[in-house]
A and B are shown apart, each in its own frame.
Chain A
Amino acid sequence: MSSLIGYYSLIFGVGISILVIFFSIKNLNYTQNLDIKVISLVFLQLLFVIISFSGLILSFVNSDFSNETVFNHSHTTKPLFYKISGTWGNHEGSLLLWLLVLTLFIFVFLLKSKNQPNQYRILTLLFQQIIILGFFIFLIQTSNPFNHIFPVPKEGLGLNPILQDPALAIHPPILYLGYVGTSIIFSSALAAVCSNNITKMWASHIKKWVLVSWIFLTLGILLGSIWAYYELGWGGFWFWDPVENVSLMPWFALTTLLHCVLVLEKKLILTSWVVVLSIATFTLSMCGTFLVRSGILNSVHTFANDPERGLYILIFLFILIFLSLFIFLFFHKSKNNNTKTFYLLSKETSILVNNWFMMYFLSVVLIGTIYPTFLEVISSQKISVGPPFFNKLILPFLIPFMMAMAIGPKLKWIKSDVEDKIYLILFFIISLILSMLIIRNLDINFLYNTVLITAAFYLFFITLRDFFHAKYRNLSQIIAHFSFSILILSILFNNIFSSEIITNLKINETYQDQNLKINFESIEQENKQNFKAIKGKFTVEDQSGSIEVMQPELRIYNQPNIVTSEADIKTNMFTDKFMTMNYVQNQDYFNIRYQVKPFMIWIWISTILLCCSGGLSFIKKKYEN
């Protein structure tokens, strides 16, 4: 029943989409206030999508296996929480969620843009509705979440156990808020080009959308990363897996855009560049959707692959690309008049330098991700592009990037302020000495690591001083740069100083080396709602004699029948202790992996701080207005 309602709501939604497009085109030259009819239509559309989405959730909660999506991804013994989160844990449901966010955002946009020119608002609505219509058709044609199966199966196939996790339950909605937010930026940029509305006012209006998308995208990536860290059981948090790269690409573009919009808000420069970036952000998000959903790439997180879907998104994506190219090339009039100047040492130049590096990082990730596909099509050679490639091309460039990040924001003052210059040099020397001291015992890549850490420390100290210094009042920028330095520092330390032990142990056996003693105490079994847990108990004794009890777990899920390994993680401010236990085919021992990972928690904290700085910037503007 709820499936039926859900399906028909979708059909109604499509109808409204067509109506709105029709009305927008009709009202295009209408300069008066936006027709209340249009707004209520958009609201009605949102309502239908909400009904449809609730219908799907309800089907999941009731385990209505006459619905194919529910049958494929749910099971009666699954806890309620995961029944609900299972709604968007699959291709069909997640697309419906996309649609929900799309319609929600355009509605919010219409409400929040009342002080903008009418034509611009209608055009934005028009472009957004084209995107929405595209997604509606995609959903109904190729991935209908309400397909009926008959005869009705008694039991569902169940949700992949590694997806049954709290972080992953909220990861997709948050990430989609970020991805879909870029669609508003896209539509609005195109509309602004068409109606020749690229002004400072537009910049401060679109800045909020950029900030919102950026915050959610950052949070979404963070959640995915945290999930990978403790659920995939490998102790890593970033694998340069295609799916991760795909979320990183719009992030780079958004971050660049954010910096540009901040300039545009004050001075009318870089207008064309802002438009290009706005188009690029959404295109990259869509491109990511294509790469992930079509199964063209080989990744840990592939959704069910279906070439038909891939083809549809591909065509849709390129229609959008060509549409925006057309609009940009024919409607855009560059507003760069030459009275605006770039001084060699100015804030604008430093923004340009930021853009330069960001675009470089973006191109590395983009090329690294799609290159294997290109090579295979052109020469049918198959290669892998993995972490070593990205590390080699990105890490060295972080050095000048972080230096620029430290100095850039204060270029304006440097000329006059002598005290500042002294500090700049002093901090550099301190950073250098510090990093040499830290790295001194490391024989590999001594120089390289020293320079890298020096740059990160430098940014750390400079932003820390700025924070306490009254002269530089741009708080959100300081916090953002500061947390970025902590992020890089903790990633570097984590990378360099992590240590691990991999060994095979039977019950009551002990592993010992000069630093550590690991004792496999016991094992116990527990029956949970939809899995059987095998819990190992280990004691880890380090040099100083302190003993830690670790209890990693193996979970044998009933449906689908999959064994997952749950790490036990002991976190404190300085280090994470991480232990996993794995089953070995036909052996009576277990494979034990014990890792000590310094500063793990600071990676999460700094990213959250980064999001907060975005939030601060968002609130601050409101406050001033």
Chain B
Amino acid sequence: MKTKIFPIFLIITFSIIFYVFYKGLQNSNIYTPEIKSEIKIPSFEAKEFFSKDNVNSDQIFIGSEYYLLNIWASWCIPCKEEHKYLMDLSKKENIKIIGQNYKDNFVNAKNFLIKLDNPYDLIFSDNDGTIAIEWGAYGVPESFLIKNNQIIKKIIGPLNEKLFSEIKELTQ
């Protein structure tokens, strides 16, 4: 009896291991944090990009309007790709686009906006990148759709056609 249980036990164990590895192969090995929606936006203090005045987060996101917070930098190449979608969105009435200038050089960033046009209703600087962490972001670009001080959608990476129309739908 004992001699039979042992082999069966071994075979079952290894079969389970095989199954787990097989399943594991299909998962991506790159970690992206789970996108939690409906969470409150962080509160922080920053400097306005042009005037260098202090601005507070609750002065930026007021009322029940839609806001799109976009983390960008002039040195970031995907930011250039998504720029045209931001320009399109800026033409919409019911959404305000807030720029967070991430670890950037002021002159470069200004040239970037002059060359490609400025889609932002307001820009604040994040020189050491710590505000990005308050948002739970870890790269550039990242965007957050906000309503009533709640994050309703988080986008990692550049905007594209699909995401653009999704945002449009959400803000209808």
Contacts and interface: CB of A to CB of B under 8 A. Distances in A.
Given A298-B29, A310-B25, A325 B20 contact: no
A373 B24 contact: yes
- Among A311, A322, A373, A586, residue most surrounded by chain B Cβ atoms (within 10 Å): A586
Interface string B107-119: 0100000000000
Nearest to A376: B27
B92 to A, nearest CB: 32
Contacts of A295: 29
A505 to B, nearest CB: 17
Nearest to A330: B7
Interface string B6-33: 0100110010001011111111011100
Contacts of B7: 325, 329
Contact of B23 (A318, A321, A377, A382): A377
B104 interface: yes
A373 B20 contact: yes
A546 interface: no
B24 A296 contact: yes
A321 B26 CA distance: 22
Interface size classification for chain B: 20 to 34
Contact of A311 (B22, B27, B75): B22
Nearest to A585: B103
Q: Which bucket holds chain A's interface residue count?
A: 20 to 34
B130 interface: no
Given A314-B18, A377-B20, A305 B105 contact: no
Contacts of A382: 31
A564 to B, nearest CB: 19
B78 to A, nearest CB: 15
Contacts of A296: 21, 24-25, 27, 29
B30 A376 contact: no
A251 interface: no
B28 to A, nearest CB: 9
Given A318-B14, A376-B24, A586-B108, 20 more contacts: A296-B24, A296-B27, A296-B29, A297-B29, A298-B31, A305-B29, A307-B25, A307-B26, A311-B22, A314-B25, A321-B14, A322-B11, A325-B10, A325-B14, A373-B20, A373-B21, A377-B20, A377-B27, A586-B75, A586-B104
Interface of A: 290, 294-298, 302, 305, 307, 310-311, 314, 318, 321-322, 325, 329, 373-374, 376-378, 382, 585-586
Interface of B: 7, 10-11, 14, 18, 20-27, 29-31, 75, 103-105, 108
27 contacts: A290-B21, A295-B29, A296-B21, A296-B24, A296-B25, A296-B27, A298-B30, A298-B31, A307-B26, A314-B18, A314-B21, A314-B25, A321-B14, A322-B14, A325-B10, A325-B11, A329-B7, A373-B20, A373-B21, A373-B24, A374-B20, A376-B24, A378-B20, A585-B75, A585-B103, A586-B104, A586-B108
